[in-house]
Amino acid sequence: MFVDEIKIYARAGHGGKGCVAFHREAYITKGGPSGGNGGRGGSVILQADHDLNNLIQQYYVPRLIAEVGEGGMGKGMDGHAGKDLIIKVPCGTMVWLLKDTTPEIKKKMVSPDDEDEEEEQPEGERGAKHKPVITSSTGGRPLIRSARGTTALEIDLTKAKTPVVESEEPVAPPEPQGVLVADLTEHGQQYVLCKGGRGGLGNRNFATPRRQTPRFAQPGEPGTEGEFHLELRIMAEIGLVGYPNAGKSTLLTAISKARPKVAPYPFTTLHPQIGIMEYEKDFKRLTVCDVPGLIEGAHMNVGLGHAFLRHIRRCKVLVLLLDMAGTDGRHPWDDYKQLLKELELYDPAFLKKPRLVVANKMDEAVAEENLKTFKKKFKKITLVPISAAFDQGMENFRKIVREAVEAQD
Ligand SMILES: Nc1nc2c(ncn2[C@@H]2O[C@H](COP(=O)(O)OP(=O)(O)OP(=O)(O)O)[C@@H](O)[C@H]2O)c(=O)[nH]1
Ligand SMILES: [Mg+2]
């Protein structure tokens, strides 16, 4: 199965909560607070990988949930951080954010200047004024502490005023494609889809000369979460476009080591196929993408081609392959016009890409005659005659394609 579009849900791990503990040891009286900090939650990270060619893994596991951070412990022990969940996706994956379902409390922490919250605070809390409000400390004046370069607000857990997730406002139905947040094109490129929550500070961070036994610690912060749409647009330099049975897969077989199925019936190829064309002299490599055949009405979702046209959107050069022998009873010039029309209807930007018109099946008797007629009808177009099945004209084709691609670089 070839999956090139998928909706997923991702949630980063919650930060572990800080611990309230006091040092106990023989002969050491009142050892002081010793609660460790909670570990941070794991993040959900997408990583582009050139060994993958579709999003089948996400089809089977569409919920990506990272590990939570461990809570802090006594004796000053900090909790383990949650493991990051690294998900490999094929190069060319685009990530669209459909809906941010991060708890409201987390959003407030990220954007602290929420005016509604400020009103209730007594005057004189200059430090806390623009800070995220969770719950106040021991009911009195909230205390802001700094530890390891991060500021934190004290929370009294004994008062059991746990942060309440306010009911979210009704979210407007997302746009079909949401907001584009990432485009993973290069092998190894990473994108943090959801960031893990920070771990809470343990009570030993809150000891002061005046309050030597703080009986509170911080809860961890929730991680971000959301619904995303992943879309794969294959990264290939050359895109093969043509009617079914034009010989696209045969051509791919002739120029690369890819072995797509070749058969004399339409829609043999059911999903995009990638081949790598190598030039022996200087080891230059060009990626070629063969998409299922286009037919009239493809823009109305007739046939298969339309669904896969997105894969040639990134191609530098389009190769329009025509069956010059008219095997299926069509005329190559009609095919040419129709192909251009379908491409334009899908995305007018296709017509701005450099394209190469290739006449296939030149070994057939009628092909020469058709070629002449075609040239008469379209005088400005330079055709590249080949016979993919018999390896004729391949050198010329490889050379011309390379020149066209290099002109784009
Ligand atoms: N005579 C001749 N036949 C060819 C040539 N190239 C391809 N064919 C034949 O054309 C038929 C279709 O070839 P495919 O490569 O499967 O065509 P395709 O464009 O990939 O077709 P779809 O996958 O259905 O879109 C096969 O029977 C091939 O043997 C050629 O140069 N000459
Ligand atoms: Mg094919």
Contacts for 284 with CB less than 8 Å, ≥ 6 apart: 278, 402
Which range among 97-111, 184-198, 358-372 has the greatest average pLDDT?
A: 184-198
Output the CA–CA distances (angstroms, integers) from residue 138 to 30, 73, 142, 160, 202, in the order listed. Answer: 22, 22, 7, 10, 15
Cα–Cα distance measured from residue 86 to residue 64, given in angstroms and rounded to the nearest whole number: 9
% of the chain with per-residue pLDDT over 90: 48
CA of residue 68 relative to chain centroid, distance = 23
Residues in the chain, how many? 409
Distance (Å) from CA 259 to ligand 1 centroid: 13
In this predicted model, what pLDDT tens digit does every residue of 41-92 receive, in sequence order? 999 999 999 999 889 999 999 999 999 999 999 999 999 999 999 999 999 9
Q: What is the pTM of this model?
A: 0.74
Q: Residue 91 region, left (φ>0) first, then alpha (ψ -120 to 50), else beta? A: beta
Q: What is the pLDDT of residue 93?
A: 93
Distance (Å) from CA 253 to ligand 1 centroid: 11
Q: What is the pLDDT of residue 130?
A: 43
Distance (Å) from CA 376 to ligand 1 centroid: 25
Q: How confident is the model at residue 173 (pLDDT cuts 50, 70, 90)?
A: very low
Cα–Cα distance measured from residue 291 to residue 313, given in angstroms and rounded to the nearest whole number: 11
What is the mean predicted confidence (pLDDT) over 28-49? 94
**Could you say which ligand is closest to the alpha carbon of residue 387?**
1
Output the CA–CA distances (angstroms, integers) from residue 141 to 134, 138, 222, 342, in the order listed. Answer: 13, 7, 24, 68
Q: Was domain 5-232 assigned CATH 2.70.210.12?
A: yes
Q: What is the pLDDT of residue 175?
A: 40
Q: How confident is the model at residue 292 (pLDDT cuts 50, 70, 90)?
A: confident
Contacts for 384 with CB less than 8 Å, ≥ 6 apart: 356, 357, 358, 359, 393, 396, 397, 400
In this predicted model, what pLDDT tens digit does every residue of 210-240 receive, in sequence order? 999 999 999 999 999 999 999 998 888 999 9
- Residue 267 CA, closest ligand 1 atom number: 24
Q: How many CA atoms lie within 13 A of 327 on its CB side?
A: 16
The dihedral formed by the CA atoms of 299, 301, 307 and 309, expressed in degrees to the nearest 10: -20
Q: How confident is the model at residue 161 (pLDDT cuts 50, 70, 90)?
A: very low
Q: What is the pLDDT of residue 329?
A: 84
Q: What is the pLDDT of residue 45?
A: 95
Q: What is the pLDDT of residue 139?
A: 44
Task: Report which of 359, 398, 405 is spatially closest to residue 382, judged by C-alpha positions.
Answer: 359
- Say if residues 296 and 302 touch (Cβ distance below 8 Å): yes
Distance (Å) from CA 336 to ligand 1 centroid: 17
Residues with CB under 6 A from ligand 1: 242, 244-250, 262-264, 266-269, 292-293, 360-361, 363-364, 387-390
Cα–Cα distance measured from residue 101 to residue 94, given in angstroms and rounded to the nearest whole number: 20
Q: What are the extents of the domains in the chain?
A: 5-232, 238-408
- Say if residues 406 and 352 touch (Cβ distance below 8 Å): no
Q: Which one of 268, 273, 360 would you pick to mutate in the ligand 1 pocket, going by the greatest count of ligand atoms within 8 A of its CB? A: 268
What is the mean predicted confidence (pLDDT) over 288-295? 87
Task: Report which of 285, 300, 301, 304 is spatially closest to residue 242, judged by C-alpha positions.
Answer: 304
- Say if residues 91 and 48 touch (Cβ distance below 8 Å): yes
Q: What is the pLDDT of residue 156?
A: 55
Structurally, at CATH architecture level, domain 238-408 sits in: 3-Layer(aba) Sandwich (3.40)
Residue owning the nearest CA to atom 21 of ligand 1:
245
In this predicted model, what pLDDT tens digit does every residue of 304-339 receive, in sequence order? 766 788 888 889 999 999 999 888 888 889 889 988
Cα–Cα distance measured from residue 23 to residue 235, given in angstroms and rounded to the nearest whole number: 59
**Could you say which ligand is closest to the alpha carbon of residue 295?**
1
Which residue is listed with tokens 């008797």?
365
In this predicted model, what pLDDT tens digit does every residue of 97-119 receive, in sequence order? 998 888 777 676 655 444 444 34
Q: What is the pLDDT of residue 276?
A: 92
Q: What is the pLDDT of residue 114?
A: 43
Q: What does the block give as tokens for 392?
A: 């004729």
**Could you say which ligand is closest to the alpha carbon of residue 268?**
1
Cα–Cα distance measured from residue 223 to residue 329, given in angstroms and rounded to the nearest whole number: 60
